[in-house]
Amino acid sequence: MASGGAEATAPLLAANNGEPRHRRNTFAFACATLASMTTILMGYNLALMSGAQLFIREDMGLTDEQIEVLSGSMNVFMLASILAAGWTADALGRRGTLVLANAFLMAGALAMSLGSTYAALMSARFVTSVGVGLAVVVAPVYTVEISPASSRGVLSSLPEIFINAGILLSYVSNYALAGVGWRAMFAAGVAPPVFLAAGVLAVMPESPRWLAMSGRLDDARSVLLRVSDTVAEAELRLDEIITHAAGAAARHDGGGVWRQLFVRPSPTVRRIMTKVMSLHFFQQASGIDVIVLYSPLVFKQAGISSNTFVLAATVAVGVVKTSFILAATLLSDRLGRRPLLLASTGAVAFTLASLAVALCVASPAASVASAMAYVAAFSVGLGPLAPAYGAEIMPLRLRAQGASVGTAVNRVTCGVLSMTFISLAGGISMAGCFFLYAGAAVAACVFVYFRLPETKGRSLEDMDVLFAKHPKKTNTSLSRTVATMTHDGDAAAAAAAPLLVSSGDKPCRRGTTFAFGCATLASMTTILMGYNLALMSGAQLFMKEDIGLTDGEIEVLTGSMNVFMLVSILAAGWAADVLGRRGTLVLANAFLMAGALAMSLGGSYGELMSARFVTSVGVGLARVVAPVYNAEISPPSIRGVLTSLLDMFVNVGILLSYVSNYALAGLPVHLGWRVMFGIGVVPPVLLAAGVLAMPESPRWLAMRGRHGDARAVLVRVSDTVAEADLRLEEITHAVAAPRDAAAGGGGAGVWRELIFRPTATVQRILAGVIGLQFFQQASGIDAIVLYSPLVFKRAGISSNTSVLATTIAIGVVKTSFILVATLLSDRLGRRPLLLASTGGMVVTLTTLALTLRVSSPSSSTASVASVMAFVAAFSVGLGPTTATYTAEVMPLRLRAQGASIGIAVNRLACGAVTMTFISLADGITMAGCFFLYAGVAAATFVFVYVWLPETKGRSLEDMDVIFDK
């Protein structure tokens, strides 16, 4: 490759010389996040027209041409502010420009919500576009300039992540506010800019590079010390910034920036500008905003007629887009920009061609699946990396204006596509449009391969070395320092983490048995979680007939539990630290008993929803605290087994609910489902009594200063007395270290360390926890658990009795393979099981989708077999190991709250799946749903392979070593 020599001479900032990272390096993450959040409003305002146009057209009688112009004009209007953003960013500073952007965004949202004529809407769109243009230029520039080289790939991807979060929020707003009106959709965007502007002024420092350009070197150094990995790196960055800023200032006055960019650019600047403009052009020429803005029209063209189903499908587009943007963010600093861009553009070309073919044959499911796959391919590379790459390669003096030019090209291309799509589709067909965009994606892949060098870990001040035709070796102090650095791999980190168990150790049977008994008793609380979650699978058939509930009410009643439990999940960390692990489990059982009683006596939809809320509080507390207790009570030799008990008992509860559905189906309709729920009243009383007989977690006792009690418990649950003393020593050290660092921080300090000022290691652990918890549910397991009767009926099984009998088989398979995973977890390790499980899920979900497409008598057997195989694949790895892994990797001080965050994400993902499954299945077919889940499972496999190290046999107190780069 032509750029190979250049890459060898550009300095690397991201190497590791063994020096510990600066504690406050994560301040850069907070600043970049806050700056990037302004782009949420860009994504929201751009994509809101996707669904709002359906209602604006009906309300104001607008024509197709007016809708087309109103949707796409924003990309033309924002050119003025995009081209002015470079000057504004240099004159007012990066912070001042972001505040100005938020002011325009607030005014534009208010004007849109009040607009009563086409002209008023166009004027409001112009005001909004000014704010969007300023934000889309300055946010990535600020993020790149504030970021240390070691995490610049992640941080510079944040603007694109938040753009896509805004797009997803707009789709959700379209769907949720469809019954209220399009004005409410736009009005929802009035308040956020006010809070964002206040946050920018209150929290963020100015860009160190802008401060240096303004002569404020002391302020620049102060900021660099807060955002660099080490003090030495801060000094080196300042040295390079001063050198480049002084050189640029000596050569140019204020107007010289544009002159150097266009009138008299150097060969290096010309090459850089060509790449920036081309990359921005190809990003939009591949047609992404056509899907973002016109996905309802694409889905209607594919054969989906209902507005509700269309909008539900657009929500799925937003979920896929956001999920894969997150994947790209995690991978950009690990794999580099170039591999992701190549993989993304190649896949974009293939999926666009597939979408075109699907539209030609008028296949709704294939069209929607191809659209989802296209969005995933775009979002894993070309989407987030185009602005990140363009912002980081521009020279300092030209960065703001160069970013303006690239963004202007991006928006002009987007405007041309979005304002001509309807007309072009009318001329060459919608399939023809996507064949055209596929050709552009092929050209983008060729361009990336031949023209773009890798930038991962490079110094911003020496990017021009990469693009110089005959690069010279740099002689800066930074280069000399980096030349001596060596890189420590993940394998070294894993090797450094202590092993508390080896093949030669002989465990103490008495201690192991007692630990097993305690973990079993704690885990049994989750039987009630599985029972209450899955009981609706069969009970809904009888509740619908008895109370007359609609499909929509059943869908909400079934899935709402996952949303309701967020309250207790987020409070569970605090409760576990204040009441102890045991006290919180007793409280959970009290709520579970009350909820079961209320469900059995409920006489209306409102009463059932209230009872579901009470139950969800208990489920949320148990779901967080049981795995934490198990991880803390278990000796390393059997921790995999004991922490897997949680998921095993959840599945025991699911199996019991299926048996209950089947056994009580013969009772009168008004009585049967009430008895099903009433059965759940007594077990919580017995379980609470058993929990009170358990010892408290030794780690919680140590946190309370009760070291004598902690040692007594550890002696009873450890393999040997020596191991008990070693564990106590490590626990004591782990408890003392955060107190020394945070001066006792208390509950607020824990959340601050998790969210606002996490260390680099905690960031990586939290990303692993959140990612694994999200993917576990996003792969669709609860769609099977809760809606298996509907799946089997769709497959051709008509009898309620036969359907319910088949669901029992699901429960048996699920529980059996959970037991297999429990036995294998400490023998094979967590990582092999997760990889085998997610790979199997991809195959079985795809097979299930294909069998549902066939709809023949023989295919019903194949569908049932595919469901069983999917449940087995899930239960042998991703099901039980998620709880095991996430509970054991969190540091002691953060364990309860970290578990709360992970499980909150898990329940939100579950709620999104369960509360949209019926609508989504009606919109893209049930087969289409499972094709979508298969794609998520494939993403899960990649995530596990790239991000999650092995934890088998490692000390809980030293998990951070495994995750430390």
Q: What is residue 289's predicted lDDT score, i.e. its pLDDT?
A: 76
- Cβ atoms of 906 and 781 within 8 Å: the answer is no
Return the C-alpha torsion angle 862, 867, 869, 875, nearest 10.
Answer: 180
Q: Specify the residue for token string 């001066």.
A: 743
Beta-bridge partners for 41: none
Enumerate residues 6+ apart whose C-beta is below 8 A from 287.
Answer: 352, 417, 433, 434, 436, 437, 440
Q: Does residue 738 sit in helix, strand or coil?
A: helix
Q: What is the Cα–Cα distance from 751 to 762, expressed in whole angstroms? A: 12
C-alpha closest to that of 516 among 631, 628, 642: 642
Beta-bridge partners for 499: 954
Q: CA of 894: how far to CAs of 733, 748, 759, 761, in Å?
A: 14, 11, 12, 12
Q: Specify the residue for token string 């998921």.
A: 647
All residue ranges of the chain with pLDDT < 50 are 1-24, 248-254, 470-508, 740-746
Q: What is residue 6's predicted lDDT score, i.e. its pLDDT?
A: 40
Enumerate residues 6+ apart whose C-beta is below 8 A from 443.
Answer: 282
Q: What is the Cα–Cα distance from 792 to 798, expressed in whole angstroms? A: 8
Q: What is the Cα–Cα distance from 944 to 878, expressed in whole angstroms? A: 10
Please name the fold of domain 4-9+23-470.
Growth Hormone; Chain: A; (1.20.1250)
Q: What is the pLDDT of residues 173-203, one digit of tens each?
A: 877 787 788 888 888 888 899 998 888 888 8
Q: What is the Cα–Cα distance from 713 to 706, expressed in whole angstroms? A: 11
Residue 504 burial (CB count, 10 A): 5
Q: Domain 509-693+700-948+956-963 is in which class?
A: mainly alpha
Q: What is residue 500's predicted lDDT score, i.e. its pLDDT?
A: 45
For residue 228 the two structure tokens come to 């660099």
Q: What is the Cα–Cα distance from 615 to 632, expressed in whole angstroms? A: 26
Q: What is the Cα–Cα distance from 742 to 739, expressed in whole angstroms? A: 5
For residue 6 the two structure tokens come to 């250049």
pTM of this structure: 0.42
C-alpha closest to that of 610 among 602, 618, 600, 620: 602
Sign of the torsion angle spanned by Cα atoms 533, 537, 543, 544: positive
Q: What is the Cα–Cα distance from 418 to 72, expressed in whole angstroms? A: 5
For residue 175 the two structure tokens come to 């769907």
- Cβ atoms of 542 and 672 within 8 Å: the answer is yes
Q: CA of 394: how far to CAs of 11, 242, 273, 275, 943, in Å?
A: 16, 16, 8, 10, 31
Q: Where are the domains of the chain?
A: 4-9+23-470, 509-693+700-948+956-963
- Outline where 779-916 has alpha helix (H): 781-794, 800-828, 830-854, 857-875, 878-889, 895-914
C-alpha closest to that of 706 among 731, 738, 739, 723: 731
**Cα-Cα end-to-end distance for the chain:** 29
DSSP structure string for 590-623: HHHHHHHHHHHH--SHHHHHHHHHHHHHHHHHHH
Q: 760-791 as b/e, with b when 16 or more CB fall inside 10 Å?
A: bbbbbbbbbbbbbbbbbbbbbbbbbbbbbbbb
C-alpha closest to that of 703 among 587, 573, 512: 573
- Cβ atoms of 385 and 157 within 8 Å: the answer is yes
Q: What is the Cα–Cα distance from 342 to 163, expressed in whole angstroms? A: 22
3-state SS string for 512-569: HHHHHHHHHHHHCHHHHHHHHHHCHHHHHHHHHHHHCCCHHHHHHHHHHHHHHCHHHH
C-alpha closest to that of 279 among 335, 338, 232: 338
For residue 329 the two structure tokens come to 């963010």
For residue 235 the two structure tokens come to 């000094």
Q: What is the Cα–Cα distance from 3 to 452, expressed in whole angstroms? A: 8
Find the largest Cα–Cα distance for the chain.
Answer: 90
